């Protein structure tokens, strides 16, 4: 499943092709993905300019506006301006196997291409000279939503926690949020109401780097150890973004290239292999319905 680094990699890949461009066409090749696709969205996005492309948790957000955008990639900072009646938001979730890929107007449609967003780059709107973003999703668990206003979009995600790469996310924040949490620390850092976007792979890796057992109760961890954990969560996510994400099954970035962080995984997927630090066997146990990989010696 694409996690935060994969989503950020996709955003970084598609943004240069989209920001400041006008939507020429939105096409649906089926009636639904995880949720129904509303054909009314087609007219709502047509001829609008994409003024920013950014990530919120595991969502890819395209902010639209009437008229020509300024090409700024910092428009997320201004996205709370709910007074803009011309604003609109196309919001994508990659689901289990989704990807947004950049192609041109002559590229044949693939079997599992379900949505196409066309932005015109030629003066005569020649479709063969257009940039096309195709949403490809074999399992169809991803989705696309459209919001007319910033208020509608942000109301839908108001219950979400902080971003793990923001300054507000630190050891003190985690410590304060977990005093009454008896559930495992791994499930806690994957709880979107506390912090968004920390998926299974990176939770396992960060906990190993912090020396914390994934099954330890969240309320039984000290402030000092939480400070270390917040640092390792940031470090592992930033390292994965730099490497282009983690390829386990289906993920490719916007240019159809795989991620390479999998080569650096320390515990995830390494059940009964030797720990790189102490050479003990890596173990696995179910937590919250997911396999959790850890070293029983390095993590306590």
Measured CA to CA, the distance from residue 146 to residue 159 in angstroms comes to 19
Got the DSSP string for 91-137? EEE-TTT-EEEEEETTSPPPTTEEEEEEE--STT--GGG-EEEEEE-
Is 57 in a helix, a strand, or coil? Answer: coil
Tokens of 113: 């291409």
Measured CA to CA, the distance from residue 192 to residue 189 in angstroms comes to 8
Q: What residues are designated binding site for DNA?
A: 112, 139, 181
**Calculated CA dihedral for residues 101, 96, 46, 156, nearest 10 degrees:** -140
Q: What residues are designated binding site?
A: 112, 139, 181
Non-local CB neighbours of 207 within 8 Å, separated by 6+ positions = 185, 186, 189, 213, 214, 229, 232, 294, 299
Strands 49-56, 23-28: pairing is: unpaired
Active site residues: 2-3, 58, 290
Measured CA to CA, the distance from residue 76 to residue 73 in angstroms comes to 8
| Residue 207 backbone phi and psi in degrees, to 5 | -65, -35
């Amino acid at each position: 499943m694409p996690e935060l680094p994969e989503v950020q990699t996709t955003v970084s890949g598609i943004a240069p092709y989209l920001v400041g461009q006008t939507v020429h066409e939105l096409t649906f090749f089926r009636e639904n993905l995880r949720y129904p696709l509303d054909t009314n969205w087609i007219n709502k996005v047509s001829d609008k300019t994409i003024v920013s492309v950014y990530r919120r948790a595991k969502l890819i957000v395209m902010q639209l506006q009437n008229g020509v955008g300024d090409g700024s990639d910092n428009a997320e900072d201004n996205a709370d301006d709910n007074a803009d009646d011309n604003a609109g938001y196309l919001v994508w979730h990659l689901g289990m196997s989704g990807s947004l890929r950049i192609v041109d107007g002559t590229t044949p449609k693939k079997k599992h291409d379900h949505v196409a967003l066309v932005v015109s780059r030629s003066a005569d709107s020649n479709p063969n000279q257009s940039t096309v973003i195709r949403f490809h999703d074999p399992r169809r668990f991803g989705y696309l939503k459209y919001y007319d206003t910033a208020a509608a979009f942000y109301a839908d995600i108001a219950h979400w926690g902080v971003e793990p790469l923001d300054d507000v996310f630190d050891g003190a924040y985690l410590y304060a949020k977990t005093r009454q949490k008896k559930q495992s620390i791994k499930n806690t850092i994957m709880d979107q109401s506390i912090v968004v976007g920390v998926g299974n792979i990176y939770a396992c890796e960060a906990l190993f780097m912090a020396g914390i057992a994934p099954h330890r109760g969240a309320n039984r961890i000290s402030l000092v150890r939480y400070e270390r954990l917040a640092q390792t969560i940031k470090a592992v996510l930033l390292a994965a973004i730099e490497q282009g994400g983690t390829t386990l099954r289906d993920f490719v970035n916007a240019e159809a290239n795989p991620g390479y962080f999998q080569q650096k995984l320390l515990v995830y997927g390494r059940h009964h292999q030797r720990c790189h630090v102490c050479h003990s066997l890596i173990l696995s146990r179910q937590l919250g319905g997911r396999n959790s990989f850890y070293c029983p010696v390095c993590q306590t």
